[in-house]
Structure 1
Amino acid sequence: MMWPYTMPEADYLTVPPAPDETGPRGELAARTLAMPAHANPSGDIFGGWIMSMMDEAGAMTAMKHARSRVVTVAATNMAFIHPVKVGDVVCCYTEVVRIGRSSITLNIEVWVLRSGLGERMKVTSAEFTFVALDEAGKPRPIR
C-alpha cells in the first residue's frame, strides 16, 4: 500500500497543468521516476511499462473501495498522447467511474513532470475494470 504524501510533496505535485489541459482528474494513486531500464534505445518509455503502472495504481484504489483482493478484467479506451522520457516523474491519477455488484471501473490518467520539474502534461488515460475476490478467488460483492 502507498503511504500518505507529506505537505511539501503534495505541494510539489500541484504544478500548474499545460495550457491545453485542465489538470488531472481523481486522486494521485502512484508516482515514480522513469528510468533507463524502462526505455527503448531512443529513450522513450515502453507503453507496456506505463500500462503496468496504471494497473498497479488502479488496483490500489480498487482494493481500498472493495476492501478485498481485486483482479483486472479489462482495460479499454487507451491512447498514448505524448511520449514519456527517461527522467520524467510519472504520476497516475484514479477516479471511480462506477461500482457494480462485484466490479469497480476506474478512469486512470497518467501525467508526467518533464525531467521531474518541468511542465506537467497528460500522456495517456484508460478505463480499467477490476473484480473483487473472496478468499477462494471467487467474485464477491462490493459493500
Structure 2
Amino acid sequence: MEETCELPDGKLILRTLAMPADTNANGDIFGGWIMSQMDIAGGILSKEVSGTRTVTIAVESMKFIRPVKVGDVVSCYGTVERIGNTSITLQLEVWVEPVLRHEDSKCPYFKVTEAAFTYVAIDHQGNKTPIVKRGC
C-alpha cells in the first residue's frame, strides 16, 4: 500500500533548529522547548491578526505525537480558530524535518505536536482591549 504524506494546516509562522542544549534527560528535545516555540509562533500570529499586543492565557489539548531529535528542523504552523471581542484562539501544529537522521517513512516531514493556544489583546497599560483589526 502506497504511503500518503500529510500536510501541515495553516500558515508557516516559525522555523528553527533543535539544538543539543534543548534536550531532556532522555536525549530528546524537551517538550517545554517545543511548547515555547509554539507560544512564540502563536504570539506572532495573534499580533498580526489583532494589530495590538497580546498575552497567552490558555493552552488546551496539547498532545505530543512523536519525539524531536537534535538537528531536526522544527516548523510551527498556525490557523485562526476563533476571534472574540478581546481574545483569539489559534490552532498550532509543529512539524519536523529529520535532516540528520533517516526515517523509514517516504514523507520528508511529520507532525510532532498540536494544541489550541488562546491569546488576549491588551493595551499599553496591560488591560484587555477590543480587537479591531480582523486581518489573517
TM-score using structure 2 length = 0.87
What CA RMSD, in Å, does the superposition of the two structures yield over aligned residues?
Answer: 1.5
Report the counterpart of residue 116 of structure 2 in structure 1. Answer: 127
2:76 equivalent to 1:92: yes
In structure 1, runs of 5+ residues without a counterpart are 1-18
Runs (4+) of structure 1 exceeding 6 A deviation are: none
Amino acid at match of 2:31: G
Over residues 28-50 of structure 1, what are the superposed CA-to-partner deviations in whole Å (9 max), with x where a residue is unaligned? 00010000000124320000000
Report the counterpart of residue 129 of structure 2 in structure 1. Answer: 140
Bigger relative contact order, structure 1 or 2 (CA pairs below 8 A, ≥6 apart): 2
Q: Secondary structure at the match of 2:36?
A: helix
Q: Secondary structure at the match of 1:78?
A: strand
Structure 1 residues 103 and 84, CA gap change in structure 2 (3 angstroms): same
Identity of aligned residues (%): 53
Structure 1 residues 59 and 116, CA gap change in structure 2 (3 angstroms): farther
The answer to whether the 8 A contact 2:54-2:121 is kept is yes
The answer to whether the 8 A contact 1:89-1:116 is kept is no
Aligned residues: 125
> Larger % of helix: which?
1
Report the counterpart of residue 8 of structure 2 in structure 1. Answer: 24
Q: Measure how far apart 1:135 and its partner are.
A: 1.0
Report the counterpart of residue 32 of structure 2 in structure 1. Answer: 48
The answer to whether the 8 A contact 2:6-2:110 is kept is no
Over residues 78-125 of structure 1, what are the superposed CA-to-partner deviations in whole Å (9 max), with x where a residue is unaligned? 100000000000000010000000000000000000026962000000
TM-score using structure 1 length = 0.83
